[in-house]
Amino acid sequence: MEFNIALLKGDGIGPEIVDSAVAVLEKTADKFGHKFNFTPYLIGGCAIDATGMPLPQETVDGCLASDSVLLGAVGGPKWDDLAGDIRPEKALLGIRSALGLYTNLRPAKLYPALRAASPLKDEIVGGGFDILIVRELTGGIYFGDRGFREGRYGHEAYDTEAYSVTEIERIGRAAFEAAVKRSKRLCSIDKANVLETSRLWRKTTHKLAEEYPEVSYTDMFVDNAAMQLVRDPRQFDVIVTSNMFGDILSDEASQITGSIGMLASASLGASKRGLYEPIHGSAPDIAGKNIANPIATILSGAMMLRYSFGLAKEADAIEAAVDKVLNDGCRTTDLMGTDKGTPLTCTEMTKRILEVL
């Protein structure tokens, strides 16, 4: 099979980690008899330097013409003083909107080999955990009406959250479908004791649950969910929630795994085309030093194969290779913890994974 992949390397460590993921994807293509065509486009700070804008139209057009998109990271102190509408981070919202991406999949997996890196006690994490957070990506308070006005106590700012039944149904259905393919457990997170949007969210997801009788469905308030993630993360399998709650809870979940350098993500819409990226930032302080952890981006490539291209065996092979090198004791700087020895560089870790593949 042949696929066209748009590469958005971006800023900071973005080029290094995307190059690692490309090497693994190329090796996987050779192993399984596929062909991946990679085309680079500018995004973020490097796009501002070259074109004056964080998301050039050429990049949007190139991504729309591709079968899927692999993104590194954007931003850095060089562009921190720019106005909000031309900052590198503005490109992320722009490309998600242009591609019609409303579902964000955030795996939070604690590998048994990295159990010591988790801040949670051994009796809590046990042999590890594997959570999938399904976050609504294009609605809610981040996209609602906002502004400034004179209020009860004088000048004030406001942000408005709104969700339609359609928006809730489509993210809810994505979560139920994901649960069907895993352990058939789904927890919906809201604040239905306070918010009208959450009451509509709960009513809509309850109705959807009737279509999936094989899925064990529960509700949980967001404040309780934040506590339960650190008290007993193994109780969760698939979590579905709103944009803002998902933003916060997925970051919490990433921290209890021990390293954000391990965590991939996928942003999907109605078509098979998706945007795949590691959840960590551009890490400008280590850019160019060849010490970044490439695994999150490599696993993002595996998610691309699984969700956009339907290549489950190929994705399994990449994930198994990552498991193997971790079980063999391979570590980049961020994974060392109290371990003694010399950490692998970005290219060395990539080489080990390629050797296993």
Domain end point (choices 256, 287, 317): 256
Q: How far apart are alpha carbons 144 and 161 in whole angstroms?
A: 5
pTM of the model: 0.91
Residue 110 lies in a domain: no
> Are residue 161 and residue 249 in the same domain, yes or no?
yes
> Are residue 152 and residue 233 in the same domain, yes or no?
yes
> Are residue 147 and residue 217 in the same domain, yes or no?
yes
DSSP 343: P
Residue 133 lies in a domain: yes
Domain end point (choices 202, 231, 256): 256
Residue 244 lies in a domain: yes
Of the residues 30, 145, 159, 223, which is catalytic?
A: 223
Per-residue pLDDT, 204: 98
Residue 149 lies in a domain: yes
22: left (phi over 0), alpha (psi -120 to 50) or beta: alpha
| DSSP-derived secondary structure for 161-182 | ----HHHHHHHHHHHHHHHHTT
Residue 174 lies in a domain: yes
> Are residue 139 and residue 228 in the same domain, yes or no?
yes
Per-residue pLDDT, 339: 67
> Are residue 357 and residue 319 in the same domain, yes or no?
yes
Q: How far apart are alpha carbons 350 and 17 in whole angstroms?
A: 9
> Are residue 160 and residue 84 in the same domain, yes or no?
no
> Are residue 64 and residue 130 in the same domain, yes or no?
no
Of the residues 9, 27, 90, 191, which is catalytic?
A: 191
Contact assessment for residue 168 and residue 240, using Cβ atoms and an 8 Å cutoff: no
Q: How far apart are alpha carbons 55 and 99 in whole angstroms?
A: 13
Q: Which residue has the tokens 């809730």?
A: 168
What are the backbone angles phi and psi of residue 229, rounded to the nearest 5°? Answer: -65, -30
pLDDT in tens, the chain (357 residues): 999 999 999 999 999 999 999 999 999 999 999 999 999 999 999 999 999 999 999 999 999 999 999 999 999 999 998 887 889 988 998 999 899 999 999 999 998 888 888 899 989 988 889 999 999 999 999 889 999 999 999 999 999 999 999 999 999 999 999 999 999 999 999 999 999 999 999 999 999 999 999 999 999 999 999 999 999 999 999 999 999 999 999 989 988 998 788 899 999 999 999 999 998 889 999 999 999 999 999 999 999 999 999 999 999 999 999 999 999 999 999 888 766 778 999 999 999 999 999
Per-residue pLDDT, 338: 61
Domain end point (choices 256, 273, 297): 256
Nearest to 163 by CA among 220, 203, 132: 203
**49 is annotated as an active-site residue:** no
Report how many domains make up the chain.
Answer: 2
Residue 109 lies in a domain: no
> Are residue 173 and residue 267 in the same domain, yes or no?
no
**Domain containing 6: what range?**
1-103+263-357
SS3 134: strand
Of the residues 247, 276, 307, 334, which is catalytic?
A: 247
In three-state form (DSSP H/G/I as H, E/B as E, the rest C), the secondary structure along 221-270 is EHHHHHHHHHHCHHHCCEEEECHHHHHHHHHHHHHHCCCHHHCEEEEEEC
**90 is annotated as an active-site residue:** no
**223 is annotated as an active-site residue:** yes
Q: What is the CATH number of the domain that holds 218?
A: 3.40.718.10
**232 is annotated as an active-site residue:** no
Cα–Cα distance list, 356 to 23, 323, 325, 348 (Å): 13, 10, 8, 13
Q: What pairs with residue 186 in β-bridges?
A: 217, 238
Of the residues 19, 78, 130, 142, which is catalytic?
A: 142
pLDDT, one tens digit per residue, over 18-67 is: 999 999 999 999 999 999 999 999 999 999 999 999 999 999 999 999 99
pLDDT, one tens digit per residue, over 281-298 is: 899 999 999 999 999 999
Of the residues 19, 130, 232, 251, which is catalytic?
A: 251
